[in-house]
């Protein structure tokens, strides 16, 4: 069945191969084994139930709280020729009745439902009319009270699930800590279920945390280097959204606001404008984005602190879903932390405890003095093993850029000691600057030996130093009063036993050219930008005619490949990423016409050799490379035979080709498929030594036909792995 799934992936969706874990998850679902999938935003969760839905005889029901996402996914599936519908409160009564009629005529394979719709008696009664093969719960973290977006109504899904005893249950989420994962499986009673956890490392996201000083100027500087790019800016409050939206509009940026204070019609209108590329930027509260499947969002800015790491990770996950580099900028100030702390203090009991733990983890991430991916991955239970990711603010700073601030640090820390570790950074800065502020004079701090010894620096520089000392672990901030307390590391600095080196000013934003060069992706680096813009323009026209988002026709990655390979016939176009058979028929001629015309005008030829190499690479994997790669992931010969729907002898032949091609495999699992005794195996090896290992017939005859060919193939492969040809 997995080969059928692979065929659908290529023919319908136009993708050459599965992303990590997708094939394993689909295999598990097709075998009717419950599955919990933790996969980051943009990792390809939807494919894990969409492809099985096309193989199952019955209906696949998808529960999602995101009404806008339902509409978006159904539109995309229709473009791929996959029959899908949704039922939720956004439909008119006539549309609702029509979709039910489609369902009863057997013309849909996928049914998307909001949780509230599913809980209606009429819906539950309707579903009894159908054979339900798969019950999918999206945003499954909402089930757990330890999740960042707990919804009590979601717990009722556990009881509804029992309405479909023969349906496999698939729970999906992009953000779940180990504790939340356990909670989901327990509440949904997913016994003996598979748990698939993809890496939380979104390698194409450039992560940066900067001190918030002049947020408007910082954002304007950031946008200046990214003209016409699509992005989201998150703010804490509605008022801040409106103010920033007005400021950006005044600076000629294409922008719309989004928050709960706007009418539903205005929110829908603004979101649609963003999705359809009519505006570049959305300024929003956290109310925005849950239903956004726009793959070409090039940046996410947090004007204010998010409330926890899950929210932060989910929000930055809306950037770069097409795999191309995207920038994630977080502006951080102490006052933002106080705002969140205020709201936490309004909570009680366990809810308050959970919120406080979430805030502490977020602060640990923002103040971490090292690669950003280390604490981020660790929070989700994953170890990041590299020392330098090359895609965060810390790792992009070269040691030569760091300065020695030991002398200034000693002054600051000494002043903290002399004020008995009971004051905050601003008061310490006033003392060092020799201020005559009332608070300084009242406490007689003008009589301290550290009074006025920091005149060489501005107050702002001393505040920045205090933040750097906190990040490096030399100072801790009292959570109640904000006073600064020295750590053991600070005492070593005061004694002259340790240096303080770092970057004082983190307010500068990183422009794209400062990030590591993207040499890994030849297409992304060298596509023809002029042709790309021509294709984008045509895509936008076609999308507007159909009233759908442009990326539903083709994502940017597809247009980039077209602008790199210059395909000019159907066979060539079919090998481009994201071009399946349905889209080839629907849009192929329009795009080929533009490519041909561009090539004629600019004397450009199709990169046919590279295209053939691309196709050949895919085809060769169909024969044996995928088998070898899956085997090296630890799968047995028996498992692979079942996975690929072939005999074990075919798997052994594929593995032999894999080895012949110069790849290495561990023979342990191969030998596990043999039923021969050790004595008999040695007899076979001796025969191979005498007559040669390459041809099986002479070995078979040498052993007086006492060992069958399947056993000989197993031992032949093991022989080659150990001894070579």
- Give the CATH number for residue 653: 1.10.10
pLDDT at 515 over 60: no
Q: Which of 197, 220, 253 is the last residue of a domain?
A: 197
First-residue to last-residue Cα distance in the chain: 34
Q: Is 249 in the same domain as 320?
A: yes
Do 672 and 659 share a domain, yes or no?
Answer: yes
Range of the domain at 76: 2-197
Q: What is the pLDDT of residue 567?
A: 92
Q: Is the pLDDT confidence value at 280 over 60?
A: yes
Model pLDDT, residue 654: 83
Residue that finishes a domain, picked among 197, 218, 250: 197
pLDDT tens digits along 221-270: 888 778 889 999 999 899 999 999 999 999 999 999 999 899 988 988 99
Q: Are strands 484-486 and 475-477 parallel, antiparallel or unpaired?
A: antiparallel
Where helices occur in 105-203 by DSSP H, the ranges are 115-118, 121-127, 157-161, 178-187
Q: Which of 197, 227, 249 is the last residue of a domain?
A: 197
Number of domains in the chain: 5
Query: Among the listed ranges 107-116, 279-288, 334-343, which one has the minimum average pLDDT value?
Result: 334-343
Q: What is the CATH number of the domain that holds 578?
A: 1.10.150.80
Q: Which of 100-109, 151-160, 374-383, 406-415 bottoms out in mean pLDDT, i.e. has the lowest?
A: 151-160
**Residue 463 in domain:** yes
For the chain, give the mean pLDDT. 85
Asked if 559 contacts 277 with a C-beta cutoff of 8 angstroms, the reply is no
Q: Which H or E run includes 169?
A: strand 168-173
Residue 255's SS3 state is strand
510 occurs within a structural domain = no
pLDDT at residue 541 in the model? 95
Note the pLDDT of residue 511. Answer: 41
509 inside domain = no
Residue 509: per-residue pLDDT:
47
**585: part of which helix (H) or strand (E)?**
helix 581-602
* pLDDT number for residue 510: 44
Co-location of 364 and 303 in the same domain = yes
Check whether 81 has a pLDDT greater than 80. yes
Q: Taking a C-beta distance cutoff of 8 angstroms, is the pair 143, 183 a contact?
A: yes
Could you tell me if 76 and 183 lie in one domain? yes
Q: Give the pLDDT of residue 596.
A: 93
What CATH number corresponds to the domain at position 430? Answer: 1.10.10.10
Nearest one of 287, 268, 278, 266 to 90, comparing CA atoms: 268
CA 497 – CA 607 distance, rounded (Å): 61
pLDDT at 159: 84
pLDDT class of 36 with cuts at 50, 70, 90: very high
Q: Classify residue 175: in a domain, yes or no.
A: yes
In three-state secondary structure terms, 261 is: coil
In Å, what is the CA distance from 156 to each residue of 116, 122, 144, 191, 689?
A: 10, 16, 12, 18, 66
The answer to the question of residue 257 being in a domain is yes
Query: Residue 568 burial (CB < 10 Å; 0-12/13-18/19+)?
Result: middle
Higher pLDDT, 621 or 705: 705
- 3-class DSSP assignment, residue 56: coil
CB 718 within 8 A of CB 667: yes
Both tokens assigned to 198: 């993809």
Q: Are residues 595 and 648 in the same domain?
A: no
Q: Which of 627, 708, 606, 622 is nearest to 669 (CA)?
A: 627
- Closest by Cα among 637, 696, 646 to 665: 637
Strand 59-63 to strand 194-197: parallel, antiparallel, or no bridges (unpaired)?
unpaired
Q: Are residues 264 and 379 part of one domain?
A: yes
Q: Are residues 413 and 466 in the same domain?
A: yes
Backbone angles phi, psi at 275, to 5 degrees: -65, -35
Question: CATH number of the domain that 6 lies in?
Answer: 3.40.50.300
Lowest mean pLDDT among 26-40, 89-103, 615-629: 615-629
CA distance 609 to 604: 14
What are the tokens at 174?
């992009």
Return the minimum-mean-pLDDT range out of 12-16, 371-375, 439-443.
12-16
In this prediction, residue 16 carries a pLDDT of 74
As a whole number, mean pLDDT of residues 421-440 equals: 91
**How large is the angle between the packed helices 709-723 and 678-691, nearest 10 degrees?**
70
Asked whether the predicted pLDDT for residue 146 surpasses 50, the reply is yes
The token pair that represents 226 in the structure block: 């990214």
Verify that 216 and 349 share a domain, yes or no: yes
Structural domain includes residue 508: no
Looking at the fold, whether 309 and 388 belong to one and the same domain comes out as yes
Does residue 599 sit in the same domain as residue 630? Answer: no
53 located within any domain: yes
Determine, yes or no, domain membership for 511.
Answer: no
Long-range contacts of 458-462 (CB under 8 A, 24+ apart): 458/433, 459/426, 459/429, 459/430, 459/433, 460/213, 461/504, 462/408, 462/412, 462/425, 462/428, 462/429, 462/432, 462/433
**Residues 126 and 154 both lie in one domain:** yes
pLDDT(477) > 70: yes
Res 621: pLDDT: 58
In this predicted model, which residue has the larger pLDDT, 668 or 188? Answer: 188
The pTM is what? 0.62
631 and 588, same domain (yes or no): no
**Section 284-294 average pLDDT:** 73
């Amino acid at each position: 069945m997995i080969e059928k799934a692979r065929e659908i992936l290529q023919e319908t969706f136009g993708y050459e191969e599965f992303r990590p874990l997708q094939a394993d998850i689909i295999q598990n679902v097709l075998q009717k084994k419950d599955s919990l999938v933790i996969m980051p935003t943009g990792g390809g969760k939807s494919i894990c139930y969409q492809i099985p839905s096309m193989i199952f005889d019955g209906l696949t029901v998808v529960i999602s709280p995101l009404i806008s996402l339902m509409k978006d996914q159904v539109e995309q599936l229709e473009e791929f020729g996959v029959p899908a519908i949704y039922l939720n409160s956004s439909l008119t009564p006539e549309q609702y009745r029509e979709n039910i009629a489609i369902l009863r005529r057997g013309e849909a394979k996928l049914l998307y439902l909001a949780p509230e719709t599913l809980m209606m008696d009429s819906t539950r009664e309707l579903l009894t009319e159908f054979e339900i093969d798969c019950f999918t719960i999206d945003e499954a973290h909402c089930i757990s009270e330890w999740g960042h977006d707990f919804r009590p109504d979601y717990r009722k899904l556990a009881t509804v699930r029992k309405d479909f005893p023969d349906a496999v249950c698939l729970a999906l989420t992009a953000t779940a800590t180990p504790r939340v994962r356990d909670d989901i499986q327990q509440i949904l009673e997913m016994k003996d279920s598979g748990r698939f956890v993809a890496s939380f490392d979104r390698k194409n996201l450039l992560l940066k945390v900067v001190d918030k000083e002049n947020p408007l100027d910082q954002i304007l500087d950031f946008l200046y280097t990214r003209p016409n790019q699509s992005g989201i800016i998150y703010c804490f409050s509605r008022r801040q959204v409106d103010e920033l939206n007005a400021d950006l509009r005044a600076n000629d940026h294409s922008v719309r606001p989004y928050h709960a204070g706007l009418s539903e019609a205005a929110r829908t209108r603004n979101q649609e404008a963003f999705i359809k590329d009519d505006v570049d930027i959305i300024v929003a509260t956290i109310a925005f984005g849950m239903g956004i499947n726009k793959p070409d969002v090039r940046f996410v800015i947090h004007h204010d602190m998010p409330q926890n790491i899950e929210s932060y990770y989910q929000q930055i996950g809306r950037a770069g879903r097409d795999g191309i580099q995207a920038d994630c900028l977080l502006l951080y100030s102490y006052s933002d932390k106080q705002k969140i702390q205020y709201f936490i203090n309004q909570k009680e009991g366990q809810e308050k405890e959970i919120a406080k733990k979430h805030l502490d983890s977020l602060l640990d991430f923002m103040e971490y003095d090292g690669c950003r991916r280390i604490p981020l991955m660790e929070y989700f239970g994953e170890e990041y093993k590299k020392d330098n990711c090359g895609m965060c603010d810390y790792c992009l700073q070269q040691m030569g850029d760091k300065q020695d601030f030991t002398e200034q640090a000693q002054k600051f820390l000494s002043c903290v000691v002399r004020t008995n570790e009971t004051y905050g950074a601003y008061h310490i800065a006033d003392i060092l600057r020799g201020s005559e502020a009332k608070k300084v004079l009242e406490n007689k701090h003008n009589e301290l030996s550290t009074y006025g010894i920091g005149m060489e620096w501005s107050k702002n520089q001393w505040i920045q130093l205090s933040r750097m000392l906190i990040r490096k672990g030399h100072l801790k901030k009292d959570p109640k009063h904000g006073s600064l307390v020295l750590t053991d590391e600070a005492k070593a600095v005061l004694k002259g036993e340790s240096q303080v080196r770092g970057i004082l000013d983190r307010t500068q934003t990183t422009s794209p050219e400062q990030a590591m060069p993207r040499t890994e992706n030849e297409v992304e680096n060298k596509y023809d930008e002029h042709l790309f813009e021509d294709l984008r323009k045509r895509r936008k026209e076609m999308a507007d005619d159909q009233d759908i988002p442009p990326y539903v026709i083709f994502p940017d990655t597809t247009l980039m490949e077209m602008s790199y390979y210059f395909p000019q016939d159907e066979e060539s176009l079919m090998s481009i990423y994201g071009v399946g058979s349905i889209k080839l028929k629907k849009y192929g001629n329009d795009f080929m016409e533009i490519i041909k015309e561009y090539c004629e005008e600019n004397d450009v030829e199709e990169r046919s050799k590279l295209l053939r190499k691309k196709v050949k690479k895919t085809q060769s994997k169909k024969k044996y490379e995928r088998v070898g790669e899956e085997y090296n992931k630890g799968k047995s010969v028996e498992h692979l035979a079942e996975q690929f729907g072939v005999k074990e002898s075919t798997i052994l032949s594929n593995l032999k080709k894999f080895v012949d091609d110069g790849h290495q495999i561990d023979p342990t699992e191969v030998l596990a498929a043999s039923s021969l005794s050790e004595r008999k195996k040695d007899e076979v090896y001796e025969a191979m030594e005498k007559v040669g290992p390459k041809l099986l017939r002479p070995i078979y005859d040498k052993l007086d036909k006492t060992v069958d060919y399947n056993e000989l193939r197993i031992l032949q492969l093991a022989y080659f792995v150990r001894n070579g040809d």
